[in-house]
Structure 1
Amino acid sequence: MKANDISGRYLYQYRKASLNTLENLINNKMWLSHPSTFNDPFDSQPTYKPITLEDWEKVNLKKSMHWPKEKIPEFNEDAERELKTVFNKFFITCFSNSEDEDRDILMWSHYANAHKGFCVKYKVLQVVKHHTIVDKSSQNDSVMLEMKAVEYAKKSPVYSPADHALNSENDKDEEKLIKEAVIKTLKTKFEVWEYEKEYRIVYHPSKKELADQTCLLGKLIDFPEDMLDIEGITFGCKCPDASKEAIKEIIKNKWPYAEFRKCTQNFSNCKLKSENL
């Protein structure tokens, strides 16, 4: 299924029943993380392919340049630093398209604080959202939220500055290719995770954010109401009653039509099942 086919369908997000999570629900906020904070150390990590002497000669020929080969180490350092700088400005939040309760036990364990949290059921309204920003200098800038289906692979994507240099005509083309490489990396996971059937909202930074050298571990944004609508909550089988009541009260005030369910353990087959509250 492609990301642009997901509109009107449902996605699920497993959450901890933490104070921060409750505050974000109350304040209509959503937390997006930098991939460096993920539990999988290989998730969304760019692989850099240094330029070789052969590549260097091809780039020199195409660009009609006469850079000496002694510049190769410096070029590689600059190109890798530029990739990481752009990469550090993108943030994501993750969802599952899986409704397979037998397999979801792993996601409850990994992402919902070992079944003490809850799962949010979202209806996808649209897959792209643009937001215009006007800064103090009155210069228009914009950020974008984009829903992407995760692609599962045996290897992580490789960023090759030589390929980008050979396929670009100007600096603007190169910037676009770097962003595309970052997006490709952010939507790729190793195939061992394929059971998650994951989708991600990717935060595309503004030009001002790209120019900023600050490195953040996450970003708090306004909840994208025109992208997602909360239609239900399922509580983990170990979720405390106090957390259930607090979450129910918050959700009922903002999404009165949302349904509530809870997971229970079926000890006869060691599987989870959910039932209405």
Structure 2
Amino acid sequence: MRMDFLTLFPEMFHGVLNTSILKQAQDKKAVEYQVTDFRSYSENKHQKVDDYPYGGGAGMVLTPQPLFDAVEDASAASHAKPRVILLCPQGRRFTQETAEELAEEKHLIFICGHYEGYDERIREQLVTDEISIGDFVLTGGELGSMVIADSVTRLLPEVLGNKDSAVTDSFSTGYLEHPHYTRPADFRGMKVPDVLLSGHHKRIEEWRRKEALKRTYERRPDLLDIERLHAEEKKWLDEIKNSRDS
């Protein structure tokens, strides 16, 4: 996969893209990152990329020319048709499902804006996806694009050391992830559940599924689709509810 980041602040990406899993992914040739300062595409003699909005109003608006040229150049660098992602609080909410969808692509281009907003022609003609990482406003799109890049990169083949790690993550299964424990088995009187020390793989797997269901019910009940639960899961959910009421 290739990921292009079009930004006015390329220095923001250096530490993130060259650390931990994102760096390992580059080393393994699973992904290539390209960070471009789209100010360099400005045809304005002062390299301005923003202007006052027609009709008046507060703030400045990004002009179309630099971003059109930058996206066209980035698109030409790959044989695959890119998904062009505009980081925007008006976009659809980013989820694990969206990450899994984007991980199937060969080329992603992130437009990281600043100021009051974008000229509407950028949205209408350049962008394939408008994405928000949450119902809040950031100074620019850089942090959001890095969040998405991290989430997508770890799903690419061979990036994580254990191929099952991403499959069992929270949200990938539809539930929040079950609790984890490691050595020592008894820490200051706080003990690891016996089932995890039993070596009985079927019972361990059942415990993990139950705990994932319980954690989801307690913390994110909005994720539960009761109608799609298996009969066994509905029985577990009833037990969870009864234990909380008693």
TM-score higher than 0.5 here?
A: no
Structure with the bigger RCO (C-alpha within 8 Å, sep 6+) is 1
Question: Which one has a larger percent strand, Structure 1 or Structure 2?
Answer: 1
| TM, length-normalised to structure 1 | 0.20
| TM, length-normalised to structure 2 | 0.21
Rg larger in structure: 2
